[in-house]
Amino acid sequence: MVSVAKCPLCDGRIAKKDVSIRLKSLRLSRSPSTLREIDGIVSDLSKHWTMDDVNIAGFLADIRNIDDSIVLDSIRKFKKKNGVEQGFNIKYLAGIIKNENKRYRLRQDYERRSLDRIPPKLKDEPIVIDDIGQVYNPEKIKENDEEY
C-alpha cells in the first residue's frame, strides 16, 4: 500500500513518494543562500511545529514565483520580530512573503507609470547671475520695487 499525505495547497491526497520528488525539484529552483535561510527557519519552526516534507513542499510551492531577495528579506524580518517564539507557523511566513512580493510589484508598477508621464513645463523666466554669483529674476525685482 502506498502512503498518502494531504496536500497543503489543494487539500487533495498525494503519494508521499510524489511529495519527495516535488520537494527536490522545488529546492533546485532556489539559490544555495536562499535554501540555507529556508532550512534555518524550517529547523527553528520544527522546534514548535510538526514539519514534514508535505509542509515544506507546500511552502516552497507557495513562494515558487517570488524573487530570492524578497524571500530572504521576509525571512530576516520574520526572525527579527521573533515570529517563531510568538507561535507563527510556516503558512504565516508564506503569507508575509507573498504580501511583500505584492507590495514590491505595486511599487514597481507605480514607478513605471510615473516615469511614463511627461514632467510639468516650467515657465521661461529670465534669470541673471550677478558679480558675486547670486541668481535672481530681474522681473520679480521690478515688481517688488513698484510696491514700495
Residue with cell 508564506: 94
Q: Residue 69 and residue 51: Cα distance in Å, rounded?
A: 24
For the stretch 81-97, pLDDT in tens is: 998 889 899 999 999 99
pLDDT at 144: 55
Contact in structure between 31 and 68 (CB atoms under 8 Å): yes
pLDDT at 68: 93
Q: Residue 34 and residue 52: Cα distance in Å, rounded?
A: 19
For the stretch 13-63, pLDDT in tens is: 666 667 788 888 888 889 999 999 999 999 999 988 888 888 888 899 889
Q: Which residues pair with 128 in a beta bridge?
A: 136
Predicted TM-score (pTM) of the model is: 0.68
